[in-house]
Amino acid sequence: MTRLRFAPIPAGLPATVPFTGPETLERRRGAAFRARLGANENGFGPSPRAIEAMARASAEVWKYGDPDSHDLREALASHHGVAPGQITLGEGIDGLLGLLVRLTLTPGDTVVTSEGAYPTFNYHVAGFGGQLHKVAYRDDAEDPEALIGAARKTDARLVYLANPDNPMGSWHPGKRIERALDDLPEATLLLLDEAYAEFAPDDAIPRIDPEDDRVIRFRTFSKAYGMAGARIGYAIGPAELIAGFDRIRNHFGINRTAQIGALAALEDKAWLDETRRNVSDARDRIAAIASENGLSALSSATNFVAVDCGADGDFARKVLSALTEQGVFVRMPGVAPMDRCIRISCGPAAELDILAEALPIALSQARAS
């Protein structure tokens, strides 16, 4: 008998993390990356207003953040045309997914997701004793109808769907998701991850009543607003479900500086528009770099582009490794057949210049090996 004893569920889990961070990779290689294009961060940065607001707030970092995030929640409610009671905030979408799983899942419940989809959700499900059922992508996109069909067959409690998708950048028309909801089993809740919604076409966003008890939607300040390091996201859903988060959330989990910065970012619509233009230009540049090297870029509604390396996953991993050796940080999908691609985040022109220089060398090395 020992004091150092894990509870049964975590005791049976591997001590791994879903992502190896660029900092870890830099320590391993003994040098910093020249181009940081792998984590879907917004390399164009946050609004200058947000930076200024956070700088001013730093002098009062001795204060706890507002546990209700009142000002930001009110502003978000106005922004989305919903009631404040239909929004909750958390430590990024990752943190909110964990809370939602804890709030709704009983050990042994089935959860449906896509094979190769955003892996952090899977860690939460495993951590709270859920049983994952995975559905294959179809044409490099998550398959809403197949996901809901699997939920019906497995009596799933939760279904996870990202639109637009990570890691492929694909997206579905909002109308398709609205139709799919009509087939959702009565006891199943759809978790709609819209982290990249600000980059998507308008018709990709479904029109869903926030009180619709079939779905909860997740948004973030990490992508379009350029505040990944601040760890601030939010969920929109029925007031009864949203109120449930207060039973289990870390009430001081969102730091005061992040709340203030996010509020300033939300108010700076001109900067958001400029970011969208920068991302669109960067997507075009990445596609051009791919084409110049005989590769094809998949259409994307996100701030990254999946580039088809034209072979299998082993070849794509060689390309990724060769880019890393040259100081270019990118990532790739982990499941076939999507792992034929590398995933390149949009970034400033100077970093894409480095990519353009490094990619032909990486391809040559991969082919030679």
pLDDT value of position 56: 97
CATH 3.40.640.10 residue ranges in the chain? 48-267
The size of the chain, in residues, is 369
Strand, helix or coil for residue 192: strand
- Whether omega before 119 lies within 30 degrees of 0, making that bond cis, reads no
Per-residue confidence (pLDDT) for residue 224, from 0 to 100 = 98
* Non-local CB neighbours of 274 within 8 Å, separated by 6+ positions: 44
Q: What is the pLDDT of residue 248?
A: 97
* Relative orientation angle of helices 92-104 and 119-127, to the nearest 10 degrees: 30
The answer to whether 98 and 250 are in contact (CB under 8 A) is no
- Within 8 A by CB and 6+ apart from 105, the residues are 111, 125, 128, 129, 130, 157, 158
Nearest to 184 by CA among 216, 205, 154, 214: 214
- CATH 3.90.1150.10 in the chain, residue ranges: 19-45+270-368
CATH architecture, domain defined by 19-45+270-368: Alpha-Beta Complex (3.90)
Return the pLDDT at 1: 59
**What count of other Cβ atoms lies within 10 Å of the Cβ of residue 239?**
15
Q: Block means of pLDDT (10 residues each) for the chain, length 369 residues? A: 86 88 95 97 98 97 96 98 98 98 98 97 97 98 98 98 98 97 96 98 97 98 98 98 97 95 98 98 98 98 98 98 98 97 98 98 97
> What is the side-by-side strand order in the sheet with 158-162?
87-90, 233-236, 215-220, 189-193, 158-162, 110-114, 131-135
Quickly list DSSP for 53-72: HHHHHGGGTTSPP-TT-HHH
Q: What is the pTM of this model?
A: 0.96
**What fold is seen in the domain 48-267?**
Aspartate Aminotransferase; domain 2 (3.40.640)
Count of Cβ atoms closer than 10 Å to residue 20 Cβ: 12
Q: Are 112 and 159 in contact (CB under 8 A)?
A: yes
Phi, psi of 173 (to 5 degrees): -60, 145
